[in-house]
Amino acid sequence: MKIVGEQALLFGLILACFIARGCSQQAQPPQVPCFFIFGDSLVDNGNNNGMLTLARANYRPYGIDFPGGTTGRFTNGRTYVDALAQLMGFRRYIPPYSRARGPQLLQGVNYASGASGIRDETGDNLGAHSSMNAQVTNFGNTISEMRRLFRGDTNALSSYLSKCIFYCGLGSNDYLNNYFMPNFYTTSSDFTAKAYAAALIQDYTRQLTQLHSLGARKVIVTAVGPIGCIPYQLARYHGNSSRCNDNINKAILLFNTELRRLVDRFNGGQLQGAKFVYLDSYKSSLDLYQNGTANGFEVIDKGCCGVGRNNGQITCLPLQQPCNDRRKYLFWDAFHPTELANLLFAQASYGSSSYTYPTNIQQLAAL
């Protein structure tokens, strides 16, 4: 993800625009009519606020750099999908499902829930959450409400939805808060790493097929990032000379490989009219981790706030004082990237094919 020469100058100007939050103030309409988001805490923007769970971020210092302050986003500022929405021309952030009502639904909804996964039991160790199955159900409820807004014209609604972008980023917690938590879950003894990846893909295939049946056509599916490199794992890992826990990362790559193959099958005719994009957040995160200084990051193995070794034992404590210069940190807390890391990934995946397959997101929007 290192950028040099004239490209670096152009990228710097674009990024400065993002940091100044001026890029969302565009006169032209968005490139797509709506944006629907499914995922976990990497993109949750407040759905867990009213739940009985430890997976909540509706307190300071979370949101310290966000225009609306503390909202439930698990970072200091904008998430990846916030930045992506701005790049696509949306003037307002996509609202969380917990608050989205009426005509507001027409621009899209964010269903993401911290601690959630592809499997229903994933994240139960932290408390309540909306799994991917529940998020798909919630989307079905939204479609019922949208049908009324379209006065029952299902053809018009289907045509509208076919132009929208759908983002699906699940799987991280199926490893972090399931497979690699043997004291709480039995999956690591029930499945080999390869069999577990296959089981996840089987469930995810069904869920994505359900979304397609409800109207999704342009879909971004996200790889699981290198969890073995996050501060939470580094605080617990005592291994070889590698900075990261390679055993965790190898297991994740099994899932990612199968997810990319699933994208080929969907695009190859398994789902009629589908246009899927594989978003390689694993490669992007690893590039940032390995080339941090090239992107201004001086600290790549510790959270900007948190507790214990690597600030990775637990998440930020309420009212805890975070690091002063968040732009120098790759990670905000034990699990989540900083706003700047999110902005860099959004820009790279939107306009180039460095981390997207078979097209970038700008091209997907134009289809």
C-alpha span between 237 and 258 (Å, rounded): 27
Name 299's bridge partners: 329
SS3 21: coil
- 23 CA to centre of own chain: 21
Of residues 41, 98, 116, 349, which has the active-site annotation? 41
Task: Answer for the pair 132, 204: CB distance below 8 angstroms, yes or no.
Answer: yes
Q: What is the DSSP string of 78-146?
A: --HHHHHHHHTT-SSPPPBTTT--GGGGGG--B---TT--SSTTTTTTTB----HHHHHHHHHHHHHHH
Of residues 65, 124, 287, 333, which has the active-site annotation? 333
Task: Answer for the pair 44, 18: CB distance below 8 angstroms, yes or no.
Answer: no
Is 158 catalytic? The answer is no
Q: Which tokens is 363 given?
A: 């091209």
Dihedral sign of CA atoms 304, 305, 307, 312 in order: negative
C-alpha span between 97 and 130 (Å, rounded): 11
Dihedral sign of CA atoms 223, 198, 117, 142 in order: positive
DSSP state of 272: T
Of residues 24, 116, 336, 349, which has the active-site annotation? 336
φ/ψ (deg, to 5) at 314: -145, 175
Is 190 catalytic? The answer is no
C-alpha span between 306 and 117 (Å, rounded): 24
SS3 74: coil
Task: Answer for the pair 103, 42: CB distance below 8 angstroms, yes or no.
Answer: no
Is 333 catalytic? The answer is yes
Catalytically annotated residues:
41, 333, 336
